Amino acid sequence: MNRRFILASAPTLALVSLVTLITVAAPTTQKSGAKKSLTAAGGAKTAPAAQAPITVNGVANIDPTKAFGSKNASVTMEIFSDFQCPACKQLFTTTTQRVMDNYVNNNKVYLIHRDFPLPMHAYSRVAASYSRAAAHIGKCESVELALFQNQEKWEMNGDVKGTVAAVLTPAEMKKVQELVDGKTLEALVEKDKQLGQAVPVNQTPTMIIHTRDGQSYPVVGFVSYDVLKTLLDQIVK
């Protein structure tokens, strides 16, 4: 064995020992898990006219009008999104729709839509308010779809109201407008935002997937359905 070999092997052994030590000695205490943060942020006010928030699978502060599927599902998926964010549109119109069809409608996943309007987007907060109001009259899916599908139009002219009105009857639109003008549901939008900040959500869209055994998996950015499916198939029981 020559000197060169000994010199080359020394850092190898040192590094392998260090990595092994880190692996074995890594702390197992909860640091800043999404679920813990969500629960911790649960002290804000709720709108008096809103339906009472519910808790499913340990995930608190769920507005039932913005949630879909069976509460007995083994997986709960929160999606923090901004109506003016292009990746959120892409996620909603492709991946989320297929998750709805194949997991939510089959009672395998409970899906929660959280509003996370980013300050850099001029109309996303308005869009979130209209969407929330529409959800409270039972028109969540159609209005969300209209807002995302027409994102490029209303983000140019700010005509969120017109976009929403196009998919509602005049009577429905009147109710929605009253809720928006009365700012009755603003607290719920703000609550979602606070919950996101507590996770913390740094980008939109961000999905937090919760299993019944208390594990939380964050997924950031647009992801395709086929890749998401491999994860869901492993954790859905």
Strands 109-115 and 206-211 turn out to be unpaired
- From the list 15-23, 45-53, 55-63, 185-193, the region that binds other proteins by CB under 8 A is 15-23
Residues ≥6 apart with Cβ < 8 Å to 154 = 123, 127, 147, 160, 162, 163
Q: List the one residue from 54, 181, 224, 237 that touches other proteins (CB under 8 A).
A: 224
User: What is the total count of residues that contact other proteins (CB under 8 A)?
Assistant: 39
Strands 109-115 and 75-81 turn out to be parallel
15 vs 44 by CB, closer to other proteins: 15
19 vs 44 by CB, closer to other proteins: 19
Token pair in block for residue 93: 């119109």
Question: Taking CB under 8 A as the rule, does residue 203 contact other proteins?
Answer: yes
| Other beta carbons within 10 Å of 39 | 16
Residues belonging to the chain: 237
Question: Taking CB under 8 A as the rule, does residue 235 contact other proteins?
Answer: yes
Q: List the one residue from 138, 158, 182, 221 that touches other proteins (CB under 8 A).
A: 221
- What is the distance between the alpha carbons of residues 67 and 112, in angstroms, rounded to a whole number? 4
Q: List the one residue from 46, 142, 222, 236 that touches other proteins (CB under 8 A).
A: 222
CB 123 within 8 A of CB 158: yes
**In angstroms, what is the minimal distance from the CB of 16 to other proteins?**
8
**In angstroms, what is the minimal distance from the CB of 27 to other proteins?**
8
- From the list 3-11, 147-155, 166-174, 189-197, the region that binds other proteins by CB under 8 A is 3-11
73-92 residues near other proteins, rule: CB under 8 A: 85, 87
72 vs 215 by CB, closer to other proteins: 215
Alpha helix ranges (H) inside 138-185: 140-149, 151-157, 160-165, 170-181
CB 196 within 8 A of CB 116: yes
| E runs forming strands in 12-108 | 54-56, 59-62, 67-68, 75-81
21-50 residues near other proteins, rule: CB under 8 A: 22-23, 26, 28-31, 33
- What is the distance between the alpha carbons of residues 178 and 216, in angstroms, rounded to a whole number? 37
- What is the distance between the alpha carbons of residues 187 and 40, in angstroms, rounded to a whole number? 17
145 vs 219 by CB, closer to other proteins: 219
Q: Which residues would be at the binding site for other proteins (CB under 8 A)?
A: 2-4, 8-9, 11-12, 15-16, 19, 22-23, 26, 28-31, 33, 85, 87, 202-204, 215, 217-224, 226-228, 230-231, 234-235
